[in-house]
C-alpha cells in the first residue's frame, strides 16, 4: 500500500516542500529510505521503528521503501522523522491515508515516541501556508512560534500518538496559546555617556539612516560603550522584519518566546572564521552577518580580525545578501545589517596621545595593513573617539536614549515615505540611482562635495556615502533640501578617507 505525507526541509533559511512517499510490499522485512538524505535521515530508520513500537502501534514486518521527493534536493536533519513515521502508519492502515491530504508534518522523534523540539518551525509554517495546506503538526514547544503565520491551523503535538490522534480527528487540533511578545532587553542608555559630542552625533546619524560606523580611539575612551548603546536608539522592527528575524533565529536554533521585536545585536569574537562571519560550512549555515539581519553587527577590535574575514564582508555590505555555493548548490542568506566597528589607532593603542605611543613606523604600517582598505571605504561614518575631559565626566548627560529614539523614528518615517516602492528602506540602502533622485543639493553644498572629490579626499563610492549621510542629517532636521552645513558635517565624519585611500592603494 502507498501513502504520501507532506513535510518541509530548510534550504538555507527558506523552506522547501518535500513529499514523503511510503510503500509497503510483501517480502523480507527491510526499511529503506531513498531521496538524497544525509546521515541523520538514514539513521531515522532506527528512531522510527522504536518510536512506532513504543507508541503502541505495530511496525510492519514487511518490505518498506520510503522516498523523499524531489530526489535532487539534499535532505538534511532529523525533521523528517514524524512524517516518515506517519507515512508508515498510513501505508500499513493504522492511520487513514486520506486524513493526511490537508496536513503537513514536521518534527524529530525520540525512541519513546516523543516529538522533540525541532528548529525551523516558523519557516516550515510559512512554507506550508504558501503550499496551500490547512493544517501543520509541529512539536508542542514550537507551536507558539509556528502560530505567528496567519492562515494555517497549527497543532502542537507532544508525541507520535498525539499526532495520530489529531489526524484521526479524535483530539481536536486546538490552536496554541497566543504568541507572547518576547521580553524586551534592557538596553544600555545614552544617558550613561559623558562628553563624546561627535561620536554621539555619529550614533544618531547611523541609527537614523542605517549607516555603517567605525569608531577609532585609544583604549578606555569609550568606543565599545558607545557601540553597545546603539540598539537603544534604533526604531522598532516592523512586523515583516520581525517575522524574518524570528525565522532566521529559529533556523539557527536560537529559541525565542514569541515574535522577536528587538533588533539583533551580534558581537562575534575576533577569532571568527570567514564562514562563521558570512555563512558556510557543510551543510551551509547562516553566519553572524545573517543573524544580524535588520540589526547591528559589531566588530570590536577590528584590527584583530583575520583579513580574509573582513574581506568576506565586502560583498554582503554592498548587496544586502550573500550567496554560498557548495557542490553546484547555491544558497542565498539575507545580510541587511548595520556594521559598527571599533579599533585602536596603532598596536599599543596610544598613537597621537602625547608621547605614550612606542610603536615604530613598521609597526604602524603592519597595523594598518591588517585593516581592509575596501572595507573601510564602505564605512559611512569614521569617527575619532577622544578621551573626555575631566569637566565632561563631572557634567550631566547630554542626551538620553528615549529622546534620541523619538528623533530617529521621525527621520526613518520620512525616509520610508520617500523611498516607498523601492527596495531601499532607509538612506543607508540607497544605490546610486536613488541618491541621484532623492538627494537634492543646494549649489553651495554641491560645490563643497566637488571640492572634496577633486582634492582626492573621496572615492566615487565615498562620494555617494557622503551624500547619503548628508540626506540623513537633513532628515534629522526635517529638511527637504540638503544644505552646505549638512554636507560639511557629513564630510567631517569621514576624516579617515585619505588614510583609507592610501591603505587601499
What is the predicted pLDDT for the residue at 369? 81
Beta strands per DSSP E along 117-224: 135-139, 153-157, 213-216
pLDDT for 171: 66
The per-residue pLDDT for range 307-352, each reduced to its tens digit, is 899 999 999 999 999 998 877 778 899 999 999 999 998 888 888 7
Angle between helices 460-476 and 484-492 (to 10 degrees): 120
CA distance 52 to 63: 16
Please state, in angstroms and rounded to a whole number, the distance separating the CA atoms of residues 266 and 212: 14
In the chain, which residues have pLDDT < 50?
175, 178-180, 182-183, 497-505
Q: Residue with C-alpha cell 534592557?
A: 186
pLDDT of residue 502: 34
Strands in 128-287 per DSSP E: 135-139, 153-157, 213-216, 265-266
What is the assigned CATH class of domain 190-504?
alpha beta
pLDDT value for 505: 34
d(CA 51, CA 19): 21
What stretches of 119-245 adopt beta strand conformation (E)? 135-139, 153-157, 213-216
Global pTM value: 0.89
Q: Looking at residue 172, what is its pLDDT? A: 54
**Is the separation of the CB atoms in 300 and 316 below 8 Å?**
no
Same fold, 2-168 and 190-504: no
CATH assignment, 2-168: 3.30.230.10
Give the span between the Cα atoms of 301 and 265, in whole angstroms. 16
The sign of the dihedral angle between the CA atoms of 100, 174, 248, 238 is positive
Task: Say if residues 145 and 243 touch (Cβ distance below 8 Å).
Answer: no
The 10s digit of each residue's pLDDT in 372-390 is 788 888 899 999 999 888 8
b/e sequence 69-104, b meaning 16+ C-beta within 10 Å: beeebbbbbbbbbbbbbbbbbbbbebbebebbeebb
Which helix (H) or strand (E) is 24 found in, with range?
strand 14-25
All 3 cell numbers of residue 336?
A: 541587511
Torsion angle of the four alpha carbons 404, 407, 413, 415, in this order, in degrees rounded to the nearest 10:
-90
Measured between alpha carbons, how far is 88 from 58 in angstroms, rounded to an integer?
A: 10
In the chain, domain spans: 2-168, 190-504
Residue 257 confidence (pLDDT): 66
**Ramachandran angles phi, psi of 56, nearest 5°:** 90, 10
Instruction: Report the C-alpha gap between 256 and 144 in whole angstroms.
Output: 10
Amino acid at each position: 500500500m502507498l501513502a504520501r505525507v507532506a513535510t518541509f526541509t530548510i534550504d538555507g533559511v527558506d523552506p522547501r516542500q518535500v513529499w514523503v512517499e511510503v510503500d509497503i510490499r510483501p517480502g523480507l522485512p527491510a526499511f529503506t529510505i531513498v531521496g538524497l538524505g544525509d546521515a541523520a535521515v538514514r539513521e531515522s530508520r532506527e528512531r522510527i521503528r522504536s518510536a512506532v513500537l513504543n507508541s503502541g502501534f505495530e511496525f510492519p514486518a514487511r518490505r518498506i521503501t520510503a522516498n523523499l521527493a524531489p530526489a535532487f534536493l539534499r535532505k538534511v536533519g532529523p525533521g523528517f522523522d514524524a512524517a516518515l513515521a506517519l507515512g508508515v502508519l498510513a501505508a500499513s492502515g493504522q492511520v487513514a491515508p486520506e486524513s493526511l491530504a490537508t496536513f503537513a508534518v514536521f518534527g524529530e522523534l525520540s525512541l519513546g515516541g516523543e516529538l522533540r523540539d525541532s528548529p525551523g518551525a516558523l519557516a516550515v509554517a510559512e512554507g506550508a501556508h504558501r503550499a496551500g495546506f490547512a493544517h501543520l503538526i509541529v512539536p508542542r514547544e514550537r507551536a507558539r512560534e509556528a502560530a505567528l503565520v496567519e492562515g494555517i491551523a497549527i497543532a502542537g503535538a507532544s508525541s507520535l500518538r498525539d499526532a495520530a490522534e489529531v489526524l484521526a480527528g479524535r483530539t481536536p487540533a486546538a490552536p496554541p496559546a497566543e504568541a507572547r511578545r518576547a521580553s524586551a532587553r534592557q538596553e544600555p542608555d545614552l544617558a550613561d555617556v559623558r562628553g563624546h559630542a561627535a561620536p554621539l552625533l555619529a550614533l544618531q546619524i547611523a541609527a537614523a539612516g542605517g549607516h555603517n560606523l567605525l569608531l577609532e580611539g585609544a583604549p578606555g575612551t569609550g568606543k565599545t560603550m558607545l557601540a553597545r548603546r546603539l540598539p537603544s536608539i534604533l526604531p522598532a522592527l516592523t512586523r515583516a522584519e520581525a517575522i524574518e528575524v524570528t525565522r532566521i533565529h529559529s533556523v539557527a536554533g536560537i529559541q525565542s518566546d514569541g515574535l522577536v521585536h528587538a533588533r539583533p545585536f551580534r558581537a562575534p569574537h575576533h577569532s571568527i572564521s570567514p564562514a562563521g562571519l558570512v555563512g558556510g560550512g557543510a551543510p551551509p549555515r547562516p553566519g553572524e552577518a545573517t543573524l544580524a539581519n535588520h540589526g547591528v553587527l559589531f566588530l570590536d577590535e577590528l584590527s584583530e580580525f583575520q583579513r580574509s574575514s573582513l574581506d568576506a564582508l565586502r560583498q554582503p555590505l554592498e548587496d544586502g545578501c550573500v550567496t554560498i555555493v557548495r557542490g553546484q548548490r547555491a544558497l542565498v542568506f539575507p545580510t541587511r545589517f548595520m556594521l559598527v566597528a571599533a579599533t585602536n589607532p596603532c598596536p599599543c593603542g596610544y598613537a597621537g596621545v602625547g608621547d605614550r605611543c612606542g610603536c615604530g613606523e613598521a609597526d604602524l604600517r603592519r597595523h594598518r595593513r591588517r585593516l581592509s582598505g575596501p572595507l573601510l571605504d564602505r564605512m559611512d561614518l569614521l569617527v575619532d573617539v577622544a578621551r573626555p575631559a575631566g569637566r565632561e565626566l563631572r557634567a550631566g548627560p547630554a542626551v538620553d536614549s528615549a529622546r534620541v529614539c523619538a528623533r530617529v523614528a521621525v527621520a526613518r518615517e520620512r525616509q520610508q515615505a520617500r523611498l516607498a516602492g523601492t527596495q531601499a528602506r532607509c538612506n543607508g540602502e540607497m544605490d546610486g540611482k536613488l541618491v541621484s533622485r532623492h538627494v537634492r543639493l543646494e549649489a553651495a553644498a554641491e560645490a563643497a562635495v566637488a571640492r572634496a572629490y577633486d582634492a582626492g579626499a573621496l572615492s566615487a563610492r565615498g562620494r555617494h556615502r557622503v551624500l547619503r549621510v548628508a540626506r540623513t542629517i537633513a532628515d534629522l532636521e526635517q529638511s527637504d533640501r540638503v544644505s552646505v552645513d549638512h554636507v560639511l558635517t557629513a564630510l567631517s565624519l569621514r576624516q579617515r578617507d585619505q588614510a583609507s585611500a592610501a591603505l587601499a592603494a
